[in-house]
């Protein structure tokens, strides 16, 4: 196949799903409500359960039992990188403008290619465990300055290890799911007792997450230079946060109710193979990490990110943040290596998220906490509205993509609307 493969399906240069991408997701339709696996190509979904049923994936080392006629991607993810690469090459071959197999068969195209507008996207993975990191130096510094002052912005351990906490996998939801404003204890006035009620300081966190393919055994750490062998692909993540609940509860053990009510992810998983052309050198680290975290050729990805907000009375959304995944201090390889160095095992479907991705400029901060600097600098929106934090019926939408030569490899979007507390 040529260096710049072209599909027989027309794909606009700004569409996130050209033949160079082919992200995986799980979907259903009104006509066929059974969940199954597909890949995105332009404005269509290629139904892999149908492709598999018609034996069009021979030579890809797939097992005899169905892999894609499933309600989650776990079975495929567990098979490992050699199989993933073979399936990807075969799908690019099937969708190529030079291959007549699908291109010239109207019957096959009707059965296998479904307009994306006719699909309902579902959670793509059965998530066993979810860990949220805190890997942006800019974000950690900003938050530290707000709460501890400039001289103590970073905690003593931050430059030595990827800080993280265990989240709740059961409340991870797919893009488009509305989020109910959470309730909890807050203490806005330190001179008065805490109170109970809806969070008044709702926030988003701009993140990316990655899914584990082949797992690891208990007691056997994943080496940093082999970490990517265990990573299937990445999604956009909005780790919704109730800042007032968080402020009162997080000492000494960290977030709990402030985070456990919902985490939204995009429905399409972009594979590491699709992201390979967009590798860039990782951020220089000082001090040098310990040997188990040290990979001289470590890399990250040049993924452009943006966040939009749209209030109930706004005609259109407004972009309030532009950031980039490459700003992260700790890489995905280091995150996985650190997570397992204690002997913690990984399982297929586990999700690890980056933590808020903030850049060096005020418009690249990945949360309202930073963008409004704890509410002291409200964001000006359309129709004369402003925001310090998220109001009821506000919609937050995040998008991300890599920019190629005349094409994009993108994640689509993760979007959600905040509903009033019950």
Q: How far apart are CA 21 and CA 16, in angstroms?
A: 8
139 is catalytic: yes
Q: Are 140 and 366 in contact (CB under 8 A)?
A: no
Write the DSSP assignment of 331-364 as a string of letters: -HHHHHHHHHTTS----TT-EEE------SSGGG
CA 322, distance to chain mean position in Å, is 16
Omega prior to 287 cis, within 30 of 0: yes
Q: Are 179 and 419 in contact (CB under 8 A)?
A: yes
Strands 263-265 and 172-174: parallel
CA angle, 162 then 367 then 389, to 5°? 140
Write the DSSP assignment of 50-69 as a string of letters: HHHHTT--TTS---SS-SSS
Tokens for 164, please give them: 């993280």
Catalytic residue among 139, 230, 338, 339: 139
Tokens for 339, please give them: 């997570």
Q: Which residues are catalytic?
A: 139
């Amino acid at each position: 196949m040529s260096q710049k493969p072209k599909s027989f399906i027309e794909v606009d240069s700004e569409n996130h799903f050209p033949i160079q991408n082919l992200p995986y997701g799980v979907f259903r339709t009104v006509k066929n409500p059974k969940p199954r696996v597909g890949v995105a190509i332009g404005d269509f979904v290629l139904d892999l359960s149908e492709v598999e049923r018609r034996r069009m994936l021979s030579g890809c080392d797939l097992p005899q039992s169905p892999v894609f006629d499933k309600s989650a991607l776990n079975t495929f993810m567990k098979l490992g990188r050699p199989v993933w690469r073979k399936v990807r090459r075969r799908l690019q071959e099937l969708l190529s403008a030079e291959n007549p197999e699908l291109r010239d068969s109207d019957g096959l195209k009707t059965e296998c290619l479904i307009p994306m507008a006719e699909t309902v996207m579902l959670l793509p993975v059965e998530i066993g465990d979810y860990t949220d990191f805190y890997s942006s130096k800019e974000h950690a510094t900003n938050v530290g300055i707000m709460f501890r002052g400039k001289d103590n912005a970073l905690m003593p351990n931050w430059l030595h290890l990827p800080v993280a906490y265990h989240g709740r996998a059961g409340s991870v939801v797919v893009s488009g799911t509305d989020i109910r404003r959470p309730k909890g204890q807050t203490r806005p006035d330190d001179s008065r007792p805490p109170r109970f009620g809806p969070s008044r300081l709702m926030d988003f966190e701009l993140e990316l997450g990655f899914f584990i393919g082949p797992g690891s055994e208990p007691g056997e750490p994943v080496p940093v230079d082999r970490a990517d062998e265990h990573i299937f692909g990445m999604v956009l993540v909005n780790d919704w946060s109730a800042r007032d609940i968080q402020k009162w509860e997080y000492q000494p053990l960290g977030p709990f109710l402030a985070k456990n009510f919902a985490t939204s992810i995009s429905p399409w998983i972009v594979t590491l193979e699709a992201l390979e052309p967009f590798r860039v050198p990782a951020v220089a680290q000082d001090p040098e990490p310990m040997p188990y975290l040290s990979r001289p050729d470590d890399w990250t990805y040049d993924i452009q990110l943006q966040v939009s907000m749209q209030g109930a009375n706004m005609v259109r959304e407004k972009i309030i943040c532009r950031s980039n995944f490459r700003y992260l201090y700790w890489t995905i390889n280091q995150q996985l290596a650190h997570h397992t160095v204690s002997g913690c095992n990984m399982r297929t479907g586990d999700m690890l998220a980056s933590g808020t991705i903030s850049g060096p400029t005020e418009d690249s901060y990945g949360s309202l906490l930073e963008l409004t600097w704890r509410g002291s600098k409200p964001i000006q929106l359309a129709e004369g509205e402003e925001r310090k934090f998220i109001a009821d019926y506000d919609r937050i939408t995040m998008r991300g993509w890599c920019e190629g030569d005349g094409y994009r490899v993108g994640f689509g979007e993760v979007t959600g609307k905040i509903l009033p507390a019950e």
